[in-house]
Structure 1
């Protein structure tokens, strides 16, 4: 195709768009640009042919509207080749190219289809407005322009971590693609694969002993680009989160979760007191001034708890996958169990609290004088003791019973007490059970931690009625910045052969208000039959 033919084809594309009152489509614009590149190349090679002493570069739309296209179409006879000004035509071509590029960039960044906006002649500003409307309708934040995409190496590391977890018997809801195909790999095989991916110059890694491979792995311990330590980190992190989530504890059923930002003692926690009652104001009488009070609540403070475990050189050589999966999960579970035990120690030990008196006692009117088993009379007394508490300022408060906390072995009697519509009395064998109405509003929590703290079966064990957290705070468990999942950090200890991890968590437990619970000293708890 000669230059004249290429220019004529460009003009046909422009005329077709103008006749339809639109801009060129994406296909037309692509063909136009291809022709222009061929024209420029031909001219650079000296193959151009002059037309009437002037360039015959055709015009393209100067702006993005059909009206702009029509305004830029000169009358017949105004310049060579249909009246086109070469300089204006070149500027119009560049403007159209820039419009298309800008629209494609915007639509790609925000997940929109650019074709429709290019074909209908939308301006860049119109496309920006469409993007904002799309984001508003999706309730999404405006993107910053920075996109983070996963590399193949990232995907491999996640797949390898999931394969180790599944190999250990852990069930994953959504394992990474490719994880199942890696399940047959031993730790040694995985180490070789990682060394190869990291660009190792060794050509015969399969011939290396496991001890030699371990030494090579250890060299990359502090290398952030090394695959093997990163895979272990991801595996251990998922394992301990799973262990933390599945551990059976009960403290969070009757305590409140809190958050502190540092390790200082927080003793500026005040509760506002009630305002005074309204008094009748006689005609021409004066309003009486009221002074309200506030009261300081107990201090709260965080402490750090943690342990350390090691994937030793021996475990690496022995392909002991359990140390990478089950051990972190057990330590994470231990963190939750430690909190659970500390909460129950507060209930059982009955130490002095923020006001200098024992948590349960005469001063607080929250301790039954004598212990009982699960009886209607005991429950009625405890519910009334909870409901008749007064706040810090002597005002009556309403605390609804929400949770009964009992040792293992006492829950059976609780079910009988709450789920029987009728009970036997001295006068009536089918009397209405007044506690039946509480069957759905009071949760029974049974925890063997009470049994263990009291010395096991055959000993006297207390049980407790705890009020609704919405009515009053009883015990609060605070975490640093609200983070309740343990932290994990890989490190190296001098003199130890192995990959070492620290696992730690920051928490603090505080009795916030003794009015939130009533204690029954209890009775001996034992099984009906003796065990061998």
Structure 2
């Protein structure tokens, strides 16, 4: 028995692996096989009772027969009493209903599904109802969505199963675990409503929480898009000058020249992600908060990780595209002696930036736009940039930095990276560090992944990004002081 069970679970996993490797959902034939295998697995895990339990099984079967006959007769306005007393089967009652409708000339009710538009609206409203119930505020929620917010996960699953063709009357008599078994089996079917609605609710929650998570990297870095995971050049080459224009005498000839070129740095992205699950216990306990709280945690973690990686580029001062560290004496962007961001130190950093040259040793003009510091300097900097007099001078000299157009950006990541060491601060003259995303998608993606032989739902959550330095000239570092 155990060997046969493992073989069926292994077959399920093989079907899932093949679909995943081909980057597609299960087709109809695979979905049917998955559902049949799941039924057999559950039957083997929970074998039918024997011997003394026969009477109990008979009672359960009779209860189901009575319930389904009552539902059928109620739907078509017929009396179920006679059918139940005579011991008629559900199929014979269904045939009797059809004959009566034919005799009365009544149209047969269609069991066809609603239109795609109606189904899409239903799924949208139910996923919004889940989010409303978890406490999220949705501006454009419909009245239907708000009514769904009063339902439990079990009730939502029953509504979905009913729309998939199951008898709601029969479903209401089932336990939470039985309902979960039914929706779990349908997780392999791409047309099943309940799993798709959970997917939608989880993805919406991730987008909302990700956008609300407060970080600072996006204020001063560039945002890029790459089409694949191969190292990609910002541009193939930077074209520079070829010397100054030469004077051409009367009847003289123009001299040929070739422009100088410089290869620019490469940019590359990687995939970051994890897996989370809605367990059997969460469904049975109606833990609806799980649907938003756990994905939200991972969405926040993704954005915070990008933020940390950007500040690690500044703090750790690693080797960049030219084989030297980002802040290096050869780059003319490193202050020799660390200090707090005083007026004098800020002016020194500004001059460093403005004295930069392009790759062809020609003077360029870079104006500082951001001063990036650990937490703790904001108030001192506000005084420096807003005082009429120079702070700290005996005669309160005129302050040349007053109203200087530079945005102050504080981030505690620098404090965390420094620990008890010196607190460096930086100046940026534009978007010289880029955060690239695969095809520009900057919000994590979720993908439901069925696990063979397991009840509940599991999702992969992932995001593709990379952090790259594209030019050192617009960045200056002051090593800072130990506080």
User: TM-score, normalising length from structure 1?
Assistant: 0.67
Unmatched 5+ residue regions in structure 1? 1-148, 526-532
**Contact 1:269-1:299 within 8 A present in 2 as well:** no
Aligned to 2:467: 509
Aligned to 2:156: 190
Q: In the aligned structure 1, how far is the partner of 2:408 from the partner of 2:267?
A: 28
Aligned to 1:164: 130
* 1:271 partner SS: strand
Question: Once the two structures are superposed, what CA deviation does each residue of 1:229-275 show, in whole Å capped at 9, x if it has no partner?
Answer: 11101100100000111111111111111111111122572111124
How far off its partner does 1:486 sit? Answer: 1.6
Select the structure of larger CA radius of gyration: 1
Which of these residues, 258, 278, 287, is aligned with residue 320 of structure 1?
A: 287
Aligned to 2:438: 480
Question: Once the two structures are superposed, what CA deviation does each residue of 1:353-393 show, in whole Å capped at 9, x if it has no partner?
Answer: 11111110211111111111121111100000011110100
Q: In the aligned structure 1, how far is the partner of 2:291 from the partner of 2:393?
A: 63
1:247 aligns with 2:209: no
1:467 aligns with 2:429: yes
Distance 1:425 1:524, change over 3 A: closer
What does residue range 386-401 of structure 1 map to in structure 2 within 5 Å? Answer: 386-401=353-368
How far off its partner does 1:196 sit? Answer: 1.3
Aligned to 1:153: 119
* 2:290 partner SS: helix
Alignment RMSD (CA, Å): 1.7
What does residue range 373-522 of structure 1 map to in structure 2 within 5 Å? Answer: 373-424=340-391, 426-429=393-396, 431-438=397-404, 441-455=405-419, 458-469=420-431, 474-494=432-452, 496-522=454-480
Q: In the aligned structure 2, how far is the partner of 1:280 from the partner of 1:269?
A: 32
**Contact 2:383-2:391 within 8 A present in 1 as well:** no
Distance 1:177 1:312, change over 3 A: same
Q: In the aligned structure 1, how far is the partner of 2:259 from the partner of 2:185?
A: 67
Aligned to 1:349: 316
What does residue range 204-353 of structure 1 map to in structure 2 within 5 Å? Answer: 204-267=170-233, 269-353=236-320
Q: In the aligned structure 2, how far is the partner of 1:425 from the partner of 1:160?
A: 63
Bigger relative contact order, structure 1 or 2 (CA pairs below 8 A, ≥6 apart): 2
Aligned to 2:70: none
Q: In the aligned structure 1, how far is the partner of 2:317 from the partner of 2:482?
A: 19
Which of these residues, 326, 329, 354, is aligned with residue 362 of structure 1?
A: 329
* 1:200 partner SS: coil
**Contact 1:487-1:504 within 8 A present in 2 as well:** yes
* 2:205 partner SS: helix
* 1:368 partner SS: coil
* 1:404 partner SS: strand
**Contact 1:263-1:303 within 8 A present in 2 as well:** yes
Q: In the aligned structure 1, how far is the partner of 2:153 from the partner of 2:392?
A: 68
How far off its partner does 1:496 sit? Answer: 4.1
* 1:509 partner SS: strand
Question: Once the two structures are superposed, what CA deviation does each residue of 1:72-98 show, in whole Å capped at 9, x if it has no partner?
Answer: xxxxxxxxxxxxxxxxxxxxxxxxxxx
Count of matched residue positions in the alignment of Structure 1 and Structure 2:
368
Q: In the aligned structure 2, how far is the partner of 1:419 from the partner of 1:315?
A: 55
Distance 1:496 1:345, change over 3 A: farther
How far off its partner does 1:158 sit? Answer: 1.0
Q: In the aligned structure 2, how far is the partner of 1:366 from the partner of 1:212?
A: 66
**Contact 1:387-1:397 within 8 A present in 2 as well:** yes
